[in-house]
Amino acid sequence: MNRMDRLMAILIALQQGNQTAAGLAAKLEVSRRTILRDMQALSEMGIPLAAVSGPQGGYYLMEGYQLPPLQLNSREALCLLFALEGLTRYADTPFNSERWTVMDKIKAILPRETAETVHPMLDRLEVEVPKRKYTVPHLNELLDYASSNQWVSVFYHSMNNRRRLLIHPLRIYAANGFWYCDAYSQTHGEQRIFRIDRMTELRTEDPPEVGEGDGDRHQGKSEPQTVHIRAKLTYRGMLQVERDEHVGEKISAVGNEEWLADFHLPVSEWHWAVQLFYALGTEAEVLEPEALRREVCAKAVRLLTAYEQDQT
């Protein structure tokens, strides 16, 4: 980032409120001394800066000062349009129409030279999102509940059950073409992740009283019971397991074309582990625990038996 771009970035940051020299230095990846020189340069250019000392202090713009209309360079425009383009890959978002209109507005204000630079790059850059036909009509509603810190009763369709749950939404996020809600479930007594397209009949509820199943879930809650899993992986097995956001970083190379997955898994996810290593087939071998080896083997035997019966 050249100096003029850095000065503009500092001004934009100051428009958001107080900024310390150390904070700006970390954000812009320069030294604190460089930021102090930039502040001096801005003052000499006539920018009305003020500073407050102390732990809560920092630099700020004098009241009434406003930056001129937003100007984007080609990289900044590419960054924005690329992020917005990724949203268009989802069938539903919290801002279905806005994602298109804001893209049109950004493209409309770009100078011709910038647009000519950005559009060819955007045509060759994309976020890969699996195509899903599921809609999430309650996404905006759930987002409002999460942002207002409310408890919600939902009717949830899981793989094994269809029942009403009492949850406290903590965050909403998108992954693999689906929208998820990370929430504390009063019904289950633990924090869980739910697919939003499987939710219906949402309604707000009063917070449960302390002692109704979970006590205070934020204080004094014991760590969930875990099981230690170790498994050898082939190269293909390693490539598949490393995609998992929870255990992907627990893999290490132990030899030529051999990797080791070594991690602790909550007991509540035991069936997930059985399915994972069963699906990996000969690309993985569970070393421990012995109970997991037996369950994967038993699952394979049941499948073999079913196929053998079909042939007789």
One-letter amino acid identity for 256? Answer: N
- Does residue 109 form part of some domain? yes
* Domain match, 278 and 232 both: yes
Q: What is the 3-state secondary structure (H, E, C) of 149-184?
A: CCEEEEEEECCCCEEEEEEEEEEEEEECCEEEEEEE
With cut-offs at 50, 70 and 90, classify the pLDDT of residue 212.
Answer: low
Among 71-85, 216-230, 259-273, top mean pLDDT goes to 259-273
For the cut 50, the answer to whether the pLDDT of residue 27 exceeds it is yes
What's the pLDDT at 312?
A: 60
**% of the chain exceeding 90 in pLDDT:** 33
Kindly state whether residues 107 and 34 are assigned to the same domain.
no
Q: Note whether 115 and 143 are same-domain residues.
A: no
Report residue 216's pLDDT band, with 50, 70 and 90 as the boundaries. very low
Q: Is 307 in the same domain as 273?
A: yes
Q: Count of domains in the chain?
A: 4
Tokens 């060759």: give the residue.
124
- What is the residue-averaged pLDDT of the chain? 85
| C-alpha separations of 107 from 52, 97, 123, 177, 297 in Å | 40, 16, 14, 26, 57
Q: Are residues 187 and 249 in the same domain?
A: no
Whether residues 116 and 145 share a domain: the answer is: no
Q: In the listed set 15, 35, 61, which residue is the last one of a domain according to the structure? A: 61
130-139, 160-169, 206-215: range with lowest mean pLDDT:
206-215
Of residues 169 and 74, which shows the higher confidence score? 169
Residue 310's pLDDT is what? 67
pLDDT band at 232 (very low <50, low <70, confident <90, very high): very high
| 54 and 80 share one domain | no
Whether 220 shows a pLDDT value over 50: the answer reads no
Q: Please tell me whether residues 117 and 152 are part of one structural domain.
A: no
- Where is pLDDT greater, at 180 or 4? 180
Name the more confident of 217 and 120: 120
Both 295 and 255 in one domain: the answer is: yes
Q: What value does the mean pLDDT take over residues 231-245?
A: 90
186 belongs to a structural domain: yes
Question: Could you report the per-residue pLDDT of 92-126, keeping only the tens digit for each?
Answer: 888 877 888 888 888 877 888 888 888 888 888 88
User: What pLDDT is stored for residue 211 in this prediction?
Assistant: 58
Q: In terms of residue numbers, what domain contains 44?
A: 3-61
Does any domain span residue 217? no
For 74, list phi and psi in degrees, rounded to 5. Answer: -65, -35
Query: Do 301 and 230 have their domain in common?
Result: yes
The pLDDT of residue 180 is 92
The CATH number for 163's domain is 2.30.30
Residue position matching structure tokens 């498994």: 231
Q: Report if residue 129 sits inside a domain.
A: no
pLDDT classification of 5: cutoffs 50, 70, 90: confident
Is 115 within the bounds of a domain? yes
Identify whether residues 42 and 113 lie together within a single domain: no
Residue 300 lies in a domain: yes
- pLDDT of amino acid 246: 78
pLDDT the model gives residue 70:
66
> Is there a domain that residue 215 lies in?
no
Which burial class, exposed, middle or buried, applies to 269 when counting CB atoms under 10 A from its CB (0-12, 13-18, 19+)?
middle
Q: For 247-297, what is each residue's pLDDT tens digit?
A: 888 999 988 889 999 999 888 788 989 999 999 999 999 999 999 999 999
d(CA 287, CA 267): 17
Query: Does 51 fall in a domain?
Result: yes
Of 5-14, 63-72, 86-95, 222-231, the poorest mean pLDDT is in 63-72
